[in-house]
Amino acid sequence: MLLKLKHKLVIGMMKSLAGLAPGQSHLAFTGPGSSRELCQYLINQGYKKVLIASDKILRDLGVTDQGSQTLLDAGIEVAYFDDIEPNPTFEQVEAGKQVLRAAGSEVILAIGGGSVIDCAKIMSAAATSDDDPRSWVGFGKVKHEVIPLYAISTTAGTGSEATAGAVITDVQNHAKVVISGASLLPKAAAVDPRLQQGLPPAITAATGMDALTHGIEAYISTWERGTRKEHATAAIRVIFDALPKIYADSSDHDARAAMAMAAYHAGMAINQVNVGNVHAIAHQFGAYYGVPHGLANAVVLPYVLEFSKGPAEAALAELADLVGVAQSGQSSAAKAQAFIDAVKALNAQLDIGTKIEPLKRDDHDAIAKAAAEEAVSYPVPRFMMPADVKAMLNEMTV
């Protein structure tokens, strides 16, 4: 009960604080080749020294160079930090900060998926502060000016290029923590489907389901704020259509371009109202077992929707209409169920299962407690107590 009360207080406080905060906006370059436009924009801004944050796989594949070619051609002094791994840690943030300071870079260009962009966000904040980044864990705690950050997303999933939040793994405490603050929103982003063409189908599927989760969690949120519904519907409608197409045929460029924009819209939606119970549980699977974020969300999503379908019925019924799975004359409850069934069918179509393979029963108590505590700060239609999470974990365990 205490947890439920805390949830009410935290959400109330967040809503009043958000009302006082200035609105956030940033520049977006979109469409095939837009990464070149973003680089040209950096050159026009007069930057001479750029740190490129990326990962080894993308550098080896040539994607990092492809995204930054315009800078290289213009003779901009470029330094690289490409040690960012999936589920980035505070140690990686510190290492990146050292590279940034040694190179004297004026700006960071992140080229990668959510892990790269999230790590770069906290590097940008750490570079201008002597505080321990661990002290920023929570909602809106980064308040200082950061090194300007620009982002090019190489997956159609996390939407991190459109948000003012980052998820970092705290290795010592076995936890994934969220850090946010208005200055963490990238100053400009490029949504360039050409840089996403080489994604293997399994990663396309998992990252795409992360984007769908963002859209749905923002849509069923209890926080009426900004354009979250418009952005969420723009994302959800497209994902149901485009994601199975690019999973089946990675050369479907139209679907790839649509999916890139959908993930960006979903990011814009969660940037206004945050995520929900699905992420609260999925983050634990990342912290405990290193399960990729998108895959964890994809598996958890139907369980949380079943759990939430009472209070979220009207919103889920609207989504059934949106994606065309509702029958005329159906009750609102039947429509809500049709939407949940459509999410399950989409997972099956993408060869995503219903279990978290490494999940151990011995960890259920700790994971349930951590997930319920994380959800305290999310404006969810149905708050979950640790016992509720445990019931879901039981079903997800092999």
Q: Give residue for tokens 């151990």.
A: 360
CB of 78 to Fe ion, least distance (A): 29
**Residue with smaller CB distance to Fe ion, 118 or 210:** 210
C-alpha 292/C-alpha 176 separation (Å) is 12
Q: How far is the CB of 327 from Fe ion (least distance, A)?
A: 31
Residue 55 or 210 with smaller CB distance to Fe ion: 210
Residue 162 CB contacts under 8 Å (≥ 6 apart), including other chains: 26, 28, 185, 186, 189, 264, 267, 268, 271
Eight-class DSSP state of 135: G
Site for Fe ion in 33-62 (CB under 5 A): none
- Of the pair 162, 392, the CB lying nearest Fe ion is at 162
CA–CA separation, 390 vs 398, rounded Å? 14
Give least dist CB 214 to Fe ion, A.
Answer: 6
User: Do residues 121 and 147 touch, judged by C-beta distance below 8 A?
Assistant: no
Nearest to 180 by CA among 24, 52, 297: 24
Report, in Å, the least distance between residue 210 CB and Fe ion.
4
Q: How far is the CB of 167 from Fe ion (least distance, A)?
A: 8
What is the rounded distance in angstroms from the CA atom of residue 393 to the CA atom of residue 168?
23
Residue 115 beta carbon to Fe ion: minimum distance, rounded to whole angstroms: 11
Closest alpha carbon to 350 in 206, 155, 186 = 206
Of 194 and 379, the one with the shorter C-beta distance to Fe ion is 379
* DSSP β-bridge partners for residue 188: 27, 150
CB-wise, 210 or 363, nearer to Fe ion? 210
CB-nearest residue to Fe ion: 210
Helix axes 332-349, 293-308, angle to 10 degrees: 160
Binding residue count for Fe ion, defined by CB under 5 A: 1
Q: Is 161 near Fe ion (CB under 5 A)?
A: no
Q: Is 210 in the site for Fe ion (CB under 5 A)?
A: yes
Stretch touching Fe ion by CB under 5 A, among 11-19, 122-130, 206-214, 307-315:
206-214
Instruction: Considering the complex, state which of residue 114 and residue 193 has its C-beta at the smaller distance from Fe ion.
Output: 114
Q: How far is the CB of 217 from Fe ion (least distance, A)?
A: 9
Q: Is 118 in the site for Fe ion (CB under 5 A)?
A: no
* Distance (Å, whole) CA 349 – CA 364: 29
∠ Cα 57 149 379 (to 5°):
95
Stretch that binds Fe ion, among 8-16, 80-88, 189-197, 207-215 (CB under 5 A): 207-215
Nearer to Fe ion, 82 or 210 (CB): 210
What is the contact surface with Fe ion in residues (CB under 5 A)? Answer: 210
